[in-house]
Amino acid sequence: MEKALLATLEGRNAKVGALSINHLFPNRYVHAIGPFVLVDQICPAGNVPGDPPSEAGKHAHPHRGVATFSYILEGEMEYADSYGNRATAKAGDAHWLMSGKGILHEEIPPNTPQGHSLHAVQWWINLPATVKGDTPVYMFLDQSHFPEIMLPDAAGTAKILIGQIGNDTSPVPVYNNHFICHLRLHPGAKYTMPVEKRYEYAVFVPSGEAIVNGQKQGASRLSVFDFGGDEIAFHNEAARATDILLFGGASQNEPFVTQGPFVMNNREEIADAYRDFFDGKYGSITYSYNA
């Protein structure tokens, strides 16, 4: 039985520097999907200017109590943090950060030449209270780190970004039975995916279109499913391959508050997070450039 579709939601557009961001949620209809408390799409953009060395650090910001997962669809995204981690993710790669008790980081595009594009999606994952005080951990994930399985009837592939399918498991730590799967369906292909009745699910098509449970899913819109039902059916009617991002997990059983870059269990902890940031307890990012 197919999961019932609750709603298909438009995002909210915003500018962050030279980037156009599509804030998919939270909004007044959806506060969380499993432990996911925010999803942003960095909309496709060519000729994105990188920052000169004199402006290094202007995009640096803190996080606490949340894990962030940035998945690159096109282009490149550079990462640096106050624990000395630094990496550049290209198409198919990802940055994962467990911010724990607090960290300062920056994710910025290098210069993106005309004719090339930057396109990425970032998820915020609420951490259990028992993990919010842990030492931050960063992982750079090359595309080869993600298991990719062939779908039945040569329908396409499923890349496991977070979570598990069968015996294949992503190396990204999981705290709340959550998952992200990148489906790529071949032209004309159909695939029905078995899912958990008791979990919360959402589908996002970053570009193009797909048919999800018999309904057209347009680009840059978020579809949210009800509980019950044990499958979701996908169909690509287009003449080229299409990408579909499926994510979700178990409902949260702890209260949480999101404010700015922090996700904590109550407003007192939010106040503590800001106080520690202003007191410089999250450190600083060291920048060095060749002359």
Placement of tokens 């999800």 in the chain: 212
Report yes or no: 77 and 107 within 8 Å, Cβ to Cβ.
yes
Residue-level pLDDT at 56: 53
**Rounded distance, CA 135 to CA 250, Å?**
25
Residue-level pLDDT at 109: 81
Q: What is the CATH number of the domain that holds 139?
A: 2.60.120.10
Assigned domain for 215 exists: yes
- Residue 126 pLDDT exceeds 80: yes
Rounded to two decimals, the pTM is 0.92
Our count of domains for the chain comes to 1
Helix, coil or strand: residue 12 = strand
Assigned domain for 137 exists: yes
Q: How far lies 58's CA from each of 14, 29, 112, in Å?
A: 18, 33, 19
Cβ neighbour number for residue 271 with a 10 Å cutoff: 13
Assigned domain for 248 exists: yes
Assigned domain for 270 exists: yes
Residue-level pLDDT at 13: 78
Report yes or no: 187 and 236 within 8 Å, Cβ to Cβ.
yes
Structure tokens at 8: 């298909």
- Residue 168 pLDDT exceeds 80: yes
Rounded mean pLDDT of 123-132? 97
Structure tokens at 65: 């109590």
pLDDT confidence tier of residue 49, bands split at 50, 70 and 90: low
- Higher-pLDDT residue of 175, 157: 157
- Residue 51 pLDDT exceeds 80: no
Report yes or no: 203 and 223 within 8 Å, Cβ to Cβ.
yes
Alpha helices in the chain (DSSP H): 267-278
Q: Which helix (H) or strand (E) holds 25?
A: strand 19-25
Cβ neighbour number for residue 218 with a 10 Å cutoff: 13
Report yes or no: 229 and 3 within 8 Å, Cβ to Cβ.
yes
- Residue 204 pLDDT exceeds 70: yes
Structure tokens at 164: 């598990």
Assigned domain for 89 exists: yes
Assigned domain for 287 exists: no
Structure tokens at 88: 């550049």
Cα 211 from chain centroid (whole Å): 22
Report the b/e string of 52-66 with b at 16+ CB within 10 A.
eeeebeeebebbbbb
Tell me which residue of 127, 154, 70 sits closest to 264, measured CA to CA.
127
Assigned domain for 261 exists: yes
Residue 253, C-beta contacts closer than 8 angstroms, at least 6 positions apart: none
Give the single-character DSSP code of 64.
B
Q: How far lies 201's CA from each of 112, 142, 288, in Å?
A: 33, 26, 43
**Rounded distance, CA 247 to CA 227, Å?**
14
Assigned domain for 284 exists: no
Domain coverage including residue 186: 5-278
Helix, coil or strand: residue 14 = strand
Q: How far lies 217's CA from each of 7, 190, 195, 233, in Å?
A: 11, 14, 19, 12
pLDDT confidence tier of residue 54, bands split at 50, 70 and 90: very low
Residue-level pLDDT at 53: 43
Structure tokens at 6: 């609750």
**Rounded distance, CA 9 to CA 129, Å?**
30
Structure tokens at 106: 């920056």
